[in-house]
Amino acid sequence: MTATVPQAFAVSVRRFPDRTAVVGEDGRSLSYTELDRLRVEAARALLALEVQPGERVAVWAQNCVEWVVAALAIHSAGAVLVPVNTRMRGAEVAYVVERSGARVLFCAGRFLDQYYPSLLAPHRPAGLRTVVVLRDAQPGDLDWQGFLAGAAAVPAAAVEERERALTPDALMDVMFTSGTTGLPKGVMTGHGQNLRTVAEWSRHMALVPEDRYLVVNPFFHTFGYKFGWLAGLLAGCTVLPHAVFDAAALMARVAGERVSVLPGPPTLFISILNDPKRAGFDLSSLRATITGAAAVAPALIERIRAELGFRIVLTGYGLTESCGVVSLCDPSDSAETIALTSGKPIPDTEVRCVGADGQALPPGQAGEIVVRGYNVMLGYLDDARATAETIDADGWLHTGDVGILDERGYLRITDRLKDMYITGGFNCYPAEIERIMAAHPAVAQVAVVGIPDERLGEVGKAYVVPRPGTNLDARELIVWCRDNMANYKVPRQVEVVPALPTNASGKVLKFELRKPRG
């Protein structure tokens, strides 16, 4: 197996030089040879900015062809990719950029009715030296073509030298994930372990060069990045980046481009299945999908197969700390198995459900899911303490999720030790949301929990204790939250309460807040 991303991509270029590699939403396409040429040019431009081997370079932009080129160039320069969530606000982005030490940021221009450089400007870290606006740059900002112009000063041989110096153990990316502390942590993973995980995922999906793979899952997430455009390119597919989910636009592109592979969270498929315009689109090209990130009903799996025509429908389980994958179902599994379990551990990895004493539990008993194998992260960036708290002395990654392994070795997720909930496929960490909300001048105390939602799976509900002498309006607080955090994190409901339920030590009893109220 090839050891690094540049080596693996080079194999695809040699095998499929004239095949279409990527097609943008504007219809612009690049062959594998053209994408390779552009990758090298962008890598030379990075070297012109004096980006060093192992240096972190961030990308904060929507799914687009330039995102793919920038990421491949970062890897080719021997640097480390730091994807940044496009739903984050300026202060959130500034934290990730500063924490990662990135001196170069590839940035969206106008997207989601915002000009992204302006969002960051009031919070821009002092160490951020260069911002490259990938699309729709305003006058005075460095645009994509202006960035590429710097390549003229650096020979292609310099990029080749960087690529040769890369090893399978070299750091490939730092992906920031929030946690119980409320501050994002940078998950470090290497080239070799990621490529091995991507290959296993692609095998389960039966990816072939003839596939046309539409990627609507965000590139800042492992689903859209590692198992999206990267998996597609390494399999020789044609990759179609798609920036914003809209059921009608998505179906039109599936029909027009004869898309065969379309993963996504359950909400994506529910929206398509329930769209009254669906009958007007030819979706017969669809072949394979994988869903998850929320509870899935067996009836939904059956509908995806019967009404949308997918022959391969999978579910799985993973986390950023495991290169994105821990377990996967098999295409031959029943709808019930696919819906109610997350499959079996991928080969050469171990999964256990353990009790409070850390000992493995027998099949059928619920315990914390722990993982050991090549897919376990290298650690948290500059955080040895958090790394030691998550990966024990025997190499087991403690996921914080509760599950059951059945007699067949299939894993079923039953609960979370942590408070995380999932909104429309996005992980939401109450501690992070609470930390931001606590800055509101009228908030004395806040607790956020996930509650069921028919469309999004779960949404946040905030219980807020107001500060004495203030008048706290729930609707105004939600508006304030939209201005201060990514939209998916914003609680959909706010309930103002005189006090929060606590135990004798003062810890908030969130299970009490989750109880149905009648």
- Mean pLDDT throughout 55-68? 98
Verify that 52 and 123 share a domain, yes or no. yes
Tens-digit pLDDT profile for residues 65-97:
999 999 999 999 999 999 999 989 999 999 999
- The token pair that represents 508 in the structure block: 């908030």
Is 20 within the bounds of a domain?
A: no
* 329 neighbors 305 (Cβ within 8 angstroms): no
Alpha carbons 251 and 71: distance in angstroms, whole number: 28
293 and 169 in a common domain = no
Q: Are 77 and 47 in contact (CB under 8 A)?
A: yes
Residues 414 and 478 both lie in one domain: no
Q: What is the C-alpha separation between 125 and 84, in angstroms, rounded?
A: 15
Whether the per-residue pLDDT at 259 is higher than 80: the answer is yes
Do 9 and 149 fall within a single domain? yes
> With 60 as the cut, is the pLDDT of residue 181 above it?
no
The residue that leads in pLDDT, 410 or 421, is: 410
What is the per-residue pLDDT for 301?
A: 86
Same domain, 277 and 363: yes
Quick one: average pLDDT of 290-304? Answer: 76
Q: How confident is the model at residue 298 (pLDDT cuts 50, 70, 90)?
A: confident
Quick one: pLDDT band at residue 413, thresholds 50, 70, 90? confident
Do the beta carbons of residue 348 and residue 374 sit within 8 Å? yes
Q: What is the mean pLDDT of residues 257-262?
A: 98
User: Which strand (E) or helix (H) includes residue 426?
Assistant: strand 426-428
CATH of the domain at 104: 3.40.50.980
Q: What is the pLDDT of residue 319?
A: 92
Residue 477 three-state SS: helix
What pLDDT is stored for residue 499 in this prediction?
Answer: 87
Contact call for residues 17 and 33 (beta carbons, < 8 A): yes
pLDDT score for 402:
85
Q: Say if residue 38's pLDDT is above 90.
A: yes
**CATH code of the domain in which 314 resides:** 3.40.50.12780
Find the mean pLDDT for residues 348-360.
Answer: 94
Angle of CA points 104, 108, 114, to nearest 5°: 130
**Across 218-244, average pLDDT:** 97
Q: What is the mean pLDDT of residues 153-179?
A: 94
pLDDT digits (tens, 9 = 90+) for 383-398: 999 999 999 999 999 9
Ramachandran class of 18: left when φ > 0, alpha when ψ lies in -120 to 50, beta otherwise: alpha
- Is the model's pLDDT at 202 over the cut of 80? yes
Mean pLDDT of 318-338: 92
Tell me the residue ranges of DSSP E strands in 140-278: 142-143, 171-177, 185-190, 212-215, 238-241
> How many percent of the chain have pLDDT more than 90?
76
Q: Which residue has the higher pLDDT, 248 or 270?
A: 248
The domain of 503 spans 421-514
Helix or strand or coil: residue 243? Answer: coil
Output b/e per residue, 374-402; b: 16+ Cβ within 10 A: bbbbbbbbebeebbeebbeeeebbbbbbb
Could you say which of 418, 446, 471 is where a domain stops? 418
- 489-518 pLDDT tens trace: 999 999 999 988 876 545 678 878 988 775
| 236 located within any domain | no
- In the numeric block, the tokens 């021997």 are attached to 78
Terminal CA-CA length for the chain: 58
Residues 409 and 464 in one domain: no
Amino acid 173: pLDDT: 98
* Long-range Cβ pairs for the range 300-303 (8 Å, 24+): 300/266, 300/269, 300/270, 300/273, 300/339, 301/335, 301/338, 301/339, 302/335, 303/269, 303/273
83 with 148, same domain: the answer is yes
Residues 365 and 426 in one domain: no
296 — pLDDT class (breaks 50, 70, 90): low
Lowest mean pLDDT among 160-174, 192-206, 230-244, 502-516: 502-516
pLDDT of residue 266: 80
Compute the mean pLDDT over every residue in the chain, rounded to the nearest whole number: 93
Instruction: Round to whole Å and give the CA distance between 235 and 216.
Output: 18
Count of alpha carbons within 13 Å of 390, Cβ hemisphere only? Answer: 23
When pLDDT is averaged across residues 266-295 and rounded to a whole number, the result is: 87
Angle between helix 156-165 and 32-48 (nearest 10) = 90
pLDDT in tens, 163-173: 999 999 999 99
Predicted pLDDT of residue 262? 97
Whether 392 and 292 share a structural domain:
yes
Both 293 and 332 in one domain: the answer is: yes
> What integer pLDDT is reported at residue 293 of this predicted model?
55
Confirm whether 22 is domain-assigned: no
* Residue 160 pLDDT: 98
Instruction: Say yes or no to pLDDT of 368 above 80.
Output: yes
Q: Does residue 248 carry a pLDDT above 80?
A: yes
Give domain status of residue 384, yes or no. Answer: yes
Instruction: Say if residue 254 is in the same domain as residue 360.
Output: yes
Residue 162: which pLDDT band, with cuts at 50, 70 and 90? very high
pLDDT digits (tens, 9 = 90+) for 422-443: 898 888 878 788 888 888 989 8
Tally of domains within the chain: 3
Same domain, 319 and 394: yes
Give the Cα separation of 134 and 60 in Å (integer): 10
Q: What is the pTM of this model?
A: 0.86
**CA-CA distance, 289 to 305, in Å (whole number)?**
10
Q: How confident is the model at residue 43 (pLDDT cuts 50, 70, 90)?
A: very high
Question: Quick check: is 278 in a domain?
Answer: yes
Flag whether 472 is in a domain: yes
What residue type is 262 in one-letter code? L
